[in-house]
Structure 1
Amino acid sequence: MMMNFHVKRRQQFLSEKNYQLALKEIPQGIKLFESEPARSGSSEAEGWLISYRMIAFDLFNLLVLKYTGGESIEAMRSELEGVVEGYERATNQLREYSRDPNASGFQVDSFDGYCPCLGLISLCYLLHRRDLLPRVAELLDGPDKNNVGMDFLIEDFLSYAPMDRYESDTLLVTEPFESLADAMDSADNKDALKHLRKFLKRWYKDLAGAPWHDAHKPDAQGRTGGYYGYWSFEAGAAVLLLGIDDDSSLHTYLYYPKDLVDWAKAHSVLEAKQNAVAATGLRCEAGQPCPKGGYWMTPAKSGSRRYFPQGQEMPPVASDYGTTIWQWDPNQADPTL
């Protein structure tokens, strides 16, 4: 027997009618943007840039919508990589269009870029997909590391991933994120919880300038649209990263993703597995010499796993995702044996 939607959903603003409508319309929008460049662009290249940005935006919103609608968190783990790929494709198009190979994939000096960037990083932790964090970091940093150290909080979150990060004393968006930064910088978890409560108390109000704010409210014609869920994934990630065992004092806040935090804690074995993968996770761009002999694969093509000897030039793969990135397969078993 299927669970009643009103029981299953994780926020009361989402009606079953709007949920089913969004589940249908978002993939349709993605398909449309994949088929042609947006007509609002002044050129075909700018049109594709707008289209790819909208695809990334829609993929992120679809994932959030499914969480709000009470769908399985397990399924979100694999879907998260598709969101990262969407932002990679948009960033590659931006760098080509702007002729700046280090253009940042997120405009982190505004709500429009800062919130999804920090949200995406946080979901990588909450869904035990730390292996995706180097790819998210590259979207920010650029291949030449031209944009590193732009924001204290982003750098602080990324520093928990298996990679070297950079010092920063700048917080680009102070309200409400100053309290979250204070929580991450706390000497003990009691103090951290105090700052997290302050952060969540003001989270929605202080983000009034965000494009999704009040999207659940009907307009003058009584229509609603664009609401997929209001979630402070960064607060949940902070609890996980700081090792806070008792987060019950945060459950009273509507925007705190307690189900996701509970799932992340209960599935900590996945974290250990992902850490092991990340520890050996090498990446190499097409055209570069293979840094280590063994089996590699690329997300640009399914079934791409193959053996490369050290020093061999890594080949490109035709796809819509821009530069081919080969990744070391942690399972080095020979399939012929």
Structure 2
Amino acid sequence: MSFHLIRRQQFLSEKYYKLATEVHNQIIDDDDGLEASLASSKTEPKEKIFFAHGIANDKFNLLMLDYTAGESEVILREKNGGIIANYERYANLLWKYYYDDNRPVFDLAIIDDYATLMQIIGLCFLLHRYDLLPRIAALQDGVNKENAGMDTLFEEFMCYGMGPEERYQSDYLCCTKPYRALFHALTELSDEARLKELNTYLKHWYKDLAGCAWHDSHKAEGGYFGYWSFEAGAAVVLLGIEDDSSLHKYLYYPKDLVAWYRANKTKYLTDTKALRDPATNAGIAAGQFCPKSGWWFTPAQLNSRRYVQQGVIFPAIEGSDYGTTFWQWSPDQSAPTL
């Protein structure tokens, strides 16, 4: 099928997509790229933080570019876990350098960080990656949960994903424009009122985010990955709104992702139920007992997925730049085939 028929926004040409993908992959993965600099023993610790942050942001942008180009939701779903793993690597370097395991990964006072966090959360919901939400929460909460309850919209989304018993009350919205209307949509009682707030939100979304680095990037020579309010789509599916046709007029409303979510809701229902298990919905530090037998992994080491029996002490990964080793319940609980 022609690229022009499958792309999801008209600003993206096939030539630009191929070039942008190639250039950004080179920046990350070449011999002199960010990954190589991050792995080098000659790189200063503060520089490693900078490189890890750049890789995490670039990988998310490339995922969004793939979506804009028409990539299938199944492939995007598979890639999404890697995005969170990259932010976890950045977080551990950040925490290690500043001796502060409670430093939030996304600064909610900075509009670029706030918008990116909401997009990442929205994408996790729409791709049925509920298993990633506790890991996102850990990036913001910190090890001792010192930052929990900092933002009411963040908490509202996390309540939907993790259960209200796992989250915190908050009356403060860090970025009111345009996000106040989205928060109201999540707390309204009727579909009519919810859609009214969502229309208000999407009507002002692009204009109110003019301070973001990606704004109007389609007019420049580079930096365009697509304009998407994944969080608005997430609100629609979480609220159970069946008729979202009034939102289809907004270019950045991900209507096909919303449709895919609905079509695959039953298929991925097990993932959502597993998330509700308090034994497996958060990272567990090395040195702590395993709360449940199953397959676990740690972002501190590649190919770390292993079966751990309940009661066994989780090991630390020696020589890792991640700092404290945290073990996560694997979304894949199947034994490897021989």
| TM-score normalised by L of structure 1 | 0.90
* Worse-matched range after superposition: 263-272 or 323-332: 323-332
1:35 aligns with 2:36: yes
* Worse-matched range after superposition: 295-304 or 245-254: 295-304
Distance 1:172 1:159 in 2: 18
Letter in 2 for 1:85: A
Deviation at 1:324, TM superposition (A): 3.0
Give the 3 Å change call, closer, same or farther, for CA 46–12 of structure 1 in structure 2: same
Give the 3 Å change call, closer, same or farther, for CA 289–232 of structure 1 in structure 2: same
Deviation at 1:89, TM superposition (A): 0.7
Task: Give 3-state SS (helix, strand or coil) of 2:118's partner.
Answer: helix
Give the 3 Å change call, closer, same or farther, for CA 274–292 of structure 1 in structure 2: closer
Letter in 2 for 1:52: A
Distance 1:331 1:55 in 2: 25
Unaligned 5+ runs, structure 2: none
Aligned-residue sequence identity (percent) comes to 48
Deviation at 1:187, TM superposition (A): 1.5
Distance 2:16 2:219 in 1: 12
* CA-to-aligned-CA distance 1:312-337 (integer Å, 9 cap, x gap): 3211235555443333457777889x
Distance 1:10 1:330 in 2: 29
Give the 3 Å change call, closer, same or farther, for CA 230–289 of structure 1 in structure 2: same
* Worse-matched range after superposition: 285-294 or 165-174: 285-294
Give the 3 Å change call, closer, same or farther, for CA 201–323 of structure 1 in structure 2: same
Determine the structure 1 residue equivalent to 2:143: 143
Distance 1:226 1:107 in 2: 21
Letter in 1 for 2:103: A
Q: How many residues end up aligned between the 2 structures? A: 325
Distance 1:81 1:248 in 2: 30
Determine the structure 1 residue equivalent to 2:17: 19
1:117 aligns with 2:117: yes
Distance 1:244 1:334 in 2: 38
Determine the structure 1 residue equivalent to 2:168: 166
Deviation at 1:58, TM superposition (A): 0.5
Distance 1:126 1:294 in 2: 26
Deviation at 1:277, TM superposition (A): 2.4
Contact 1:298 1:305 in 2 (8 A): no
Determine the structure 2 residue equivalent to 1:157: 157
Deviation at 1:99, TM superposition (A): 1.8
Determine the structure 1 residue equivalent to 2:80: 80
* CA-to-aligned-CA distance 1:60-97 (integer Å, 9 cap, x gap): 00110000000111101111100000111111111112
Correspondent of 1:7 among 5, 8, 11: 5
Determine the structure 2 residue equivalent to 1:217: 219
Deviation at 1:297, TM superposition (A): 3.8
Contact 2:295 2:305 in 1 (8 A): no
Deviation at 1:110, TM superposition (A): 1.3
Give the 3 Å change call, closer, same or farther, for CA 192–148 of structure 1 in structure 2: same
Determine the structure 2 residue equivalent to 1:241: 238
Determine the structure 2 residue equivalent to 1:325: 326
Give the 3 Å change call, closer, same or farther, for CA 293–14 of structure 1 in structure 2: closer
* Worse-matched range after superposition: 238-247 or 268-277: 268-277
| TM-score normalised by L of structure 2 | 0.90
Distance 1:156 1:243 in 2: 15
Deviation at 1:27, TM superposition (A): 1.4
Letter in 1 for 2:326: I
Give the 3 Å change call, closer, same or farther, for CA 250–71 of structure 1 in structure 2: same
Deviation at 1:289, TM superposition (A): 2.0
Deviation at 1:293, TM superposition (A): 4.3
* CA-to-aligned-CA distance 1:130-178 (integer Å, 9 cap, x gap): 0110000000000101001111111101111124111111111111111
Q: Pairwise mapping of residues 165-184 of structure 1 onto structure 2 (< 5 A)?
A: 165-184=167-186
Determine the structure 2 residue equivalent to 1:229: 226
* Worse-matched range after superposition: 73-82 or 91-100: 91-100
Determine the structure 2 residue equivalent to 1:250: 247
Letter in 2 for 1:28: Q
Letter in 2 for 1:324: T
Contact 1:85 1:321 in 2 (8 A): no
Deviation at 1:37, TM superposition (A): 4.9
